Amino acid sequence: MKYNRNLLSYMLGRFISYTGTGIQQIALPLYILDVTHSGIMMGFFSAINLIPNIVALPFAGILGDRKNRKNVMMVSDYARGCFVIFLGYFAMRGSLNLAFLFTVQIFISIMDSIFNASSTAILPELVEEDKLMNGIAARGGIDAVSMIIGPALGGIIYGIFGIKVIFYLNGLSFIISGISCTLINYENKDRKSKALTFKSFFTENSEVLYFIKKNKALLQLFSLAMVTNFLVAPLLDIVLPYVMKKEIGFTSQQYGYLISFFTFGILIGNILIATYLVKFSRKFIMKNSLVLQTMILFMFPVAVFPITVNYLGGHSLKLFMLLTCIMFLGGFFNSGLNTPLNTNLQEIVPNKMRSRFFSILGVFGQGAIPLGSVIYGVLLDKFPYYYILIVVMSVVFAVTLVFMKRAVPEVYEP
């Protein structure tokens, strides 16, 4: 695939920014757990991080469709960089408390939604139409590389230097990403110059909802995204670090390595999609990946069940290797589902509403996560983790079977 300067600048900015984000994503839950020793506080922080993002998404989508997407990305990068460096300054002074951290994180979360709405929608305008799936696979691969490096570094850097260095590194990554965005030569031809009013806000988002309503496949997809994000997403953010560090006894570095293996699986999956799997239909890739990913997820509670943990010697190399294999395969099959699906959606949705569409999808997909995070945090303080995992994975498996039975062909083949 031939890369032009615009695409290279886009990929470079995402790589640097996502590396810094990966470092901080691993370190913050560990920091909160070290400070509070509470699963409830971990769940509360996750909710605080997501709720402003979700609320801001409809506005972010309109902004991405109305304004120059390159400029939106650039400004939000600089704003996030300043906010995170601000946290680093207070952490260095020893005056950082959880209330202040949660407050600043609200503004960072809003900037995240603004950046992501434009960053997701701009890619089809930077590649040839027949190379879109390769471009999305490449973006997924770049993101995966950064999220391999980031979590691995996050666990190590936090364990050695503490949270202040984490903030400074992530803040610098946002600044560099903003500079990279300035190198993109781009103009959104569909942007609108008229003022945004309450009426136009509801009108423009209603256009997207009507577009979704007309397509039964999209309605099914949005329902699946809501249910699976409610059940599965908090497992990685809340349950996994709690189980790995507090219940089994792995170190922060080992937890970072596990997350890196998940994203390494995504990387390998995207490489195969862009090279060897192009001869298969998207429907074939996606349906098989969905089933296999669900089966792999069900292996996780089995691996961390007390009988298995004791049999393998607690926080031993054997158990760690088993968990890395599960995480790798989970990421591998996740790419087989997400990359073809994102390609289909980019092709189906008109450019003039693409930012709004993916923002609305984000509302549906992420809207259930804060509630799930809080619920998981409460459950972890009241029930054994392995019972929670077994029940959740059983429900996920049942939901997947229902979706596979009722899914219409348009979900897979636009």
Q: Given this model, what pLDDT does residue 339 score?
A: 81
Residue 54 pLDDT greater than 70, yes or no: yes
* Structural domain contains residue 82: yes
CA distance 271 to 268: 5
* Structural domain contains residue 192: no
Quote the tokens at residue 367: 């809207």
Residue 133 pLDDT greater than 50, yes or no: yes
* Structural domain contains residue 283: yes
pLDDT bin (cut points 50, 70, 90) of residue 50 is confident
Q: What is the pLDDT of residues 222-280, one digit of tens each?
A: 777 677 777 777 777 778 888 887 788 888 778 777 877 887 888 898 888 878 776 77
Domain count, the chain: 1
Average model confidence (pLDDT) across the chain: 81
Q: Given this model, what pLDDT does residue 188 score?
A: 61
* Structural domain contains residue 308: yes
Within 10 angstroms of residue 11's Cβ, the number of other Cβ atoms is 20
By CB atoms closer than 10 A (0-12, 13-18, 19+), residue 141 is: buried
**17-31, 93-107, 216-230, 297-311: range with lowest mean pLDDT:** 216-230
Residue 325 pLDDT greater than 90, yes or no: yes
Position of tokens 């450019």?
Answer: 351
Q: What percent of the chain has pLDDT over 70?
A: 91
CA distance 374 to 233: 12
The candidate with the shortest Cα–Cα distance to 83, out of 102, 65, 99, 70, is 102
* Structural domain contains residue 282: yes
Q: What is the pLDDT of residues 346-385, one digit of tens each?
A: 777 888 888 888 888 888 777 777 777 778 878 887 888 8
The candidate with the shortest Cα–Cα distance to 110, out of 175, 177, 60, is 60
pLDDT bin (cut points 50, 70, 90) of residue 405 is low
Q: Given this model, what pLDDT does residue 75 score?
A: 93
* Structural domain contains residue 64: yes
**302 vs 1, higher pLDDT:** 302
Q: Given this model, what pLDDT does residue 82 score?
A: 94
- CATH number of the domain enclosing 269: 1.20.1250.20
Q: What is the pLDDT of residues 180-225, one digit of tens each?
A: 988 888 766 555 556 666 777 888 888 888 888 887 777 776 777 6
* Structural domain contains residue 289: yes
Mean pLDDT of 140-163: 81
Residue 335 pLDDT greater than 80, yes or no: yes
Q: Given this model, what pLDDT does residue 175 score?
A: 93
By CB atoms closer than 10 A (0-12, 13-18, 19+), residue 85 is: middle
Q: Given this model, what pLDDT does residue 38 score?
A: 73
The candidate with the shortest Cα–Cα distance to 250, out of 320, 173, 308, 335, is 320
Mean pLDDT of 53-73: 87
CA distance 367 to 22: 22
* Structural domain contains residue 248: yes
Q: What's the pTM value of the predicted model, to 2 decimals?
A: 0.72
Please give the residue range of the domain that contains residue 367: 5-182+200-411
pLDDT bin (cut points 50, 70, 90) of residue 1 is very low
The candidate with the shortest Cα–Cα distance to 235, out of 67, 45, 380, is 380
